[in-house]
Structure 1
Amino acid sequence: MQLLDNHVVLVTGGGSGLGLGVARHCLAEGARVAIFEVSESKVRQLQEAFGPDVLVMQGDVTRAADLQACRAAIVERFGRLDALIGAQGIFDGNLPLRETPLERVDSLFDEIFHVNVKGYILSAHIFADLLEASQGAIVLTTSTAAYAADGGGMVYTATKGAVRSLVGQLAFELAPHVRVNAVAPAGIAGSQLRGPRALGLEEQKQSDIPKDAFLSMFKSLSLLQELPTPEDHGPLYAFLASRHNKIMTGQTVVADQGLLNRAVLKAPH
């Protein structure tokens, strides 16, 4: 028996990177999967790759109307929803406070908070009744940046701290019918997190960082030396999304490869 047999799972931001890896793992675990993705070109690629097996919809997580259309399509196709997995996000290029032009702060804040936080709030609001009916689950994505400095710039870090807190509040509000948890990844191989339009970085992705340089930095900080792929995170999301999880809500699983368990005075053996 597979972990997600007889589950209908929606992955927002599932067009590439972490979201796509998680969606693929959910499929492998037996789920019927819907993917919500803002990029029209990625939607076309997904439709060609998955064919009729996956419901792929184009839309923006910051627009309630787009999410409501997604909800209607899921109800028409599947009749229910068992799990909402939120995987969308925008990075901020690790830009420090003093290097952020003052005149760009408003637009940078609005852009990143809208996608990284508002998108999760709208999704939870619009799909809550379906998830309550199925005794389902919400699994959001935060980051190790919510726990330690220098995992992003000021705005990205603030959004990930907000998501961590949002998980606790949603778990409280939606109990006992909906389990709400999150995963906090650290480094991810081939991460497709793009930069913000507010800084002119919308065409840049974390995967553009030279692989050797990124891997060297990761190994210098992490206890486990293998840089995980998006698919490697799939089992965590799948368990939290599944009915087999009867023990966790309001929690964030920190998937940091030992990054936060750093030595203070000496290097690990």
Structure 2
Amino acid sequence: MQMLEGHVVLVTGGGSGLGLGVARHCLSEGAELAILEYDPTKGLALKEEFGDRVLVCQGDVRSVEDLQACRAAIIDRFGRLTALIGAQGIFDGMVPLTETPVDRIDALFDEVFSINVKGYILTARVFADLLREERGAIVLTCSTAAYAADGGGLFYTASKGAVRSLTNQLGFELAPHIRVNAVAPSGIANSQLRGPAALGMENSKQSDIPKETFSEGFQATALMGLPTPEEYGPLYAYLASRHNAIMTGQTVLADQGVLNRAVISAAGTGGIPASH
């Protein structure tokens, strides 16, 4: 039996990067699938790839109207919803606070938090009744940046810390009818997270970093290789599925061992000689 057979799954931010990889995996596991994507160009690409197998909705997770339109389309097509996977996100360019223009902070904060945090809150609110009827699941996307510094800039890191706390609280509030968990990825090959428009970085993506440079930097602290978006899929699928009957309010670290080591060897010091 496939992991998501009999499940109807919505992936928000499923048009590229992590979200697309997770969506592809959910489909391969037997899910009936809907994708909410903000970028119309990515939406067209989704329709070309999946055809009629997937319901593609164009909309913004920051818009209640768009979310309600997506909800109506899901009801019309499937009549129900079993799992919501939140995969949308925006990066902050890793600009240090002291180098961030003071007059841009309000706009930067609002942009990052509205997508990375408020989008999850609104989506959970709009779809909670459908998920409750199915005794379903919500799976959000956190980050190792919520656990340690230097996984992003201040605004991205703070937003992912908020997602971690949001997962705790939603798990509490929606129990026992809806399971709420999150995945905290570390590096992702070909990440499509874009930069903030508030800093004029809306046309830049994490994947613009040369692959060799990004991979070498990641390997300096990771214990395993740089995963593809699709390789995160099984973890999301399990948490979204009814096979998960024991976990809620938890954030699962999926960090390739990044947080499982100190930095002595990574710094090239060779360690401390044994005493005699």
Q: Same fold (TM over 0.5)?
A: yes
Q: Report 1:129-140 matches (<5 A).
A: 129-140=129-140
**Residue aligned with 2:258, SS:** coil
Partner of 2:97: 97
Output the CA distance in 1 between the equivalents of 2:92 and 2:62: 18
Partner of 1:221: 221
Query: What's the offset of the Cα at 1:266?
Result: 3.7
The question of 1:75 aligning with 2:75 is answered yes
Partner of 2:208: 208
Query: What's the offset of the Cα at 1:44?
Result: 0.8
Query: What's the offset of the Cα at 1:265?
Result: 3.8
| 4+ residue segments displaced more than 4 Å | none
The question of 1:164 aligning with 2:164 is answered yes
Give the TM-score, by structure 2 length.
0.96
Output the CA distance in 1 between the equivalents of 2:184 and 2:263: 23
Output the CA distance in 2 between the equivalents of 1:12 and 1:118: 13
Output the CA distance in 2 between the equivalents of 1:220 and 1:49: 36
Query: What's the offset of the Cα at 1:263?
Result: 2.4
Larger radius of gyration: 2
Output the CA distance in 1 between the equivalents of 2:101 and 2:146: 23
Output the CA distance in 2 between the equivalents of 1:81 and 1:121: 17
Output the CA distance in 1 between the equivalents of 2:229 and 2:176: 30
The question of 1:244 aligning with 2:230 is answered no
Partner of 2:229: 230
Letter in 1 for 2:217: M
2:61 and 2:67 in contact (8 A); partners too: yes
Pairwise CA RMSD of aligned residues? 1.1
**Residue aligned with 1:221, SS:** coil
**Residue aligned with 1:257, SS:** coil
User: What is the aligned-residue identity percentage?
Assistant: 71
Output the CA distance in 2 between the equivalents of 1:68 and 1:95: 35
Give the TM-score, by structure 1 length.
0.98
2:221 and 2:263 in contact (8 A); partners too: no
**Residue aligned with 1:189, SS:** coil
5+ unaligned residues in a row in structure 2: which ranges? 272-276
**Corresponding residue pairs, total:** 268
Output the CA distance in 2 between the equivalents of 1:12 and 1:128: 15
Instruction: Report Cα offsets for 1:216-260 as digits up to 9, x if no partner.
Output: 100101111x11000000000000000000010000110000001
Instruction: Report Cα offsets for 1:129-165 as digits up to 9, x if no partner.
Output: 0000000000000100000000000000000000000
Instruction: Report Cα offsets for 1:184-213 as digits up to 9, x if no partner.
Output: 000000000000000010000000001111
Partner of 1:259: 258
Partner of 2:274: none
Query: What's the offset of the Cα at 1:49?
Result: 1.1
Partner of 2:152: 152
Letter in 1 for 2:229: P
Query: What's the offset of the Cα at 1:114?
Result: 0.3
Query: What's the offset of the Cα at 1:264?
Result: 4.4
Partner of 1:16: 16
Output the CA distance in 2 between the equivalents of 1:207 and 1:216: 14
Partner of 2:186: 186
5+ unaligned residues in a row in structure 1: which ranges? none
